[in-house]
Amino acid sequence: MRVRYVKKLIIACLLCLSTWGEAYARASKEEKAQRRASYWGLFADIYRARSCLDSPEKDSDCVTRALRDASGHVAGVEAAIDTDDKEFSNEVTDIQRLFAGGKLSETSDRLQTLRDKLIIDFASNTAPVVQPSRELGLRVYNEYCASCHGDGLGAEGRLTSKLRFKPVPFASPDRKFSQSPFGIYGVMVHGVDHSEMASMLDVLSVDELWSAAFYVASLPHHAPEAEDVETISVKIKPLAREFALSTLAISTDEELKRRLLRSGVACDACDKEVSYLRAVWPWTGSSGRLGDMAESPRQKTESRALVLLLLAIIAVSAGFYIVLRRTGRVE
């Protein structure tokens, strides 16, 4: 009788743990939708603010609008993670205060820090699952983007003059500090509030969005000459994991340059090497795959915690059973 009781208790504990773990690991559809909308909205705002701040014109109106929109989305983010400490709200408020005080460099740094934190805390799909296609990216851009953004290099599209807010050219030199495929992808997923830029998530597939994002990020770059490509390939290929799709997706051009230098690649301005990574390497199919590199630190921590908790429950249950046997309460 006691043996059956103990076995039932152990099974009940394991079932409770399984149910709790599934509920913890898998949010409902409504929660996922809310979390996704809030995250992409705030990320798109932060990305847009940095792009406008780093543009040659230092478009202060654009930055102000982006930070105002961020204030609206940040409440949804904090509701999604069920926190009362207002960490993200306070950060957005501090950034607004810095910008209003004319501290542009500090504003840019804090925007980047907030961007990185959002990626670490929320993003689960920060890079394409399959290799992006240049042909697909070009086709998507010409069909859905060129009418407003022009050629992306400065020439206006047929609708540019009719827009409420004129887009900053993708090839603007200062965009190397803020532009990344993931940032472009985020804006396409969410759109831009109070503008003609709508979400493309219901129009384009994920593969089309990623191909367009990688294509746009390559616009400021021309493929190096054939002899340069061969020379750079020799330096880059041994570092394939350093420049996998997951890295190329979330990195700005300036961040790629710093990674090149940290990896020991001999380059000064590293312009040719960065152009190779943007205009050649992502499209060759030889870059590193995603694997574990695409998994966010938060996901890894949660997975380890669930595994450790499961092992702890099993250990406690087994210990409880052994104690009962030794005291003679079960046979």
pLDDT at position 301: 62
Which residue range(s) make up the domain with 47?
A: 29-122
**Structural contact between residues 222 and 280, judged by C-beta atoms closer than 8 angstroms:** no
Q: For residue 325, is it within any domain?
A: no
CATH code of the domain containing 51: 1.20.120
DSSP letter for each residue of 252-319? -HHHHHHHHHHTT---SS-HHHHHHHHHTHHHHS-S---GGGGS-HHHHHHHHHHHHHHHHHHHHHHH
Instruction: Evaluate the CA torsion angle 112, 113, 114, 119 in order and state its sign.
Output: positive
Please tell me which residue, 243 or 4, carries the higher pLDDT value.
Answer: 243
Q: For residue 18, is it within any domain?
A: no
Mean per-residue pLDDT for 2-31? Answer: 56
Mean per-residue pLDDT for 37-41? Answer: 82
pTM: 0.72
For residues 139 and 228, membership in a common domain is answered with yes
Specify the range with the lowest mean pLDDT, choosing from 3-12, 118-127, 167-176: 3-12
Residue the block writes with tokens 């780093």: 54
Rg (CA), the chain: 24
Could you report the per-residue pLDDT of 199-226, keeping only the tens digit for each? 898 899 999 999 999 999 999 998 888 8
Please tell me which residue, 111 or 31, carries the higher pLDDT value.
Answer: 111
The overall average pLDDT reported for the chain is 81
pLDDT at position 329: 62
pLDDT at position 1: 46
Among 242, 163, 173, 200, CA closest to 44: 200
Tell me how crowded residue 177 is: count the other CB atoms within 10 A of its CB: 16
Q: Return phi, psi of residue 83, to 5°.
A: -125, 150
For residues 199 and 263, membership in a common domain is answered with yes
Could you report the per-residue pLDDT of 260-299, keeping only the tens digit for each? 999 999 888 899 999 999 999 988 876 655 433 444 445 5
pLDDT at position 303: 66
For residues 184 and 230, membership in a common domain is answered with yes
CATH code of the domain containing 139: 1.10.760.10
Percent of the chain with pLDDT over 90: 32
Please give the C-alpha separations between residue 300 and each of 77, 115, 289, 292, in angstroms, as whole numbers.
21, 20, 18, 9
Q: For residue 204, is it within any domain?
A: yes
For residues 225 and 100, membership in a common domain is answered with no
pLDDT at position 23: 47
For residues 58 and 172, membership in a common domain is answered with no
For residues 113 and 241, membership in a common domain is answered with no
pLDDT at position 10: 60
Task: Tally the domains of the chain.
Answer: 2
**Structural contact between residues 119 and 296, judged by C-beta atoms closer than 8 angstroms:** yes
Dist. CA 106–CA 99, nearest whole Å: 8
pLDDT at position 81: 67
pLDDT at position 115: 87
Q: Over 50: is that where the pLDDT of 324 sits?
A: yes
Q: For residue 313, is it within any domain?
A: no
| Band of residue 28 on the pLDDT scale cut at 50, 70, 90 | low
Among 123, 126, 228, 217, CA closest to 175: 217
Mean per-residue pLDDT for 229-235? Answer: 91
* Residue 317: partners with Cβ closer than 8 Å, 6 or more residues away: 9, 10, 13, 14
Q: For residue 271, is it within any domain?
A: yes
- 304: tokens are 């380890």
Tell me how crowded residue 155 is: count the other CB atoms within 10 A of its CB: 11
For residues 97 and 165, membership in a common domain is answered with no
Mean per-residue pLDDT for 313-323? Answer: 78
79-96: b or e for each residue (b if 16 or more CB lie within 10 Å)?
ebeeeeeeebbebbeebb
pLDDT at position 51: 84
* Residue 50: partners with Cβ closer than 8 Å, 6 or more residues away: 108, 111, 112, 115, 177, 178
Please tell me which residue, 23 or 106, carries the higher pLDDT value.
Answer: 106
Could you report the per-residue pLDDT of 83-115, keeping only the tens digit for each? 667 888 899 999 999 999 999 989 989 998 998
Dist. CA 166–CA 169, nearest whole Å: 9
Could you report the per-residue pLDDT of 130-188, keeping only the tens digit for each? 889 999 999 999 999 999 999 888 888 999 989 988 888 888 877 878 889 999 999 99
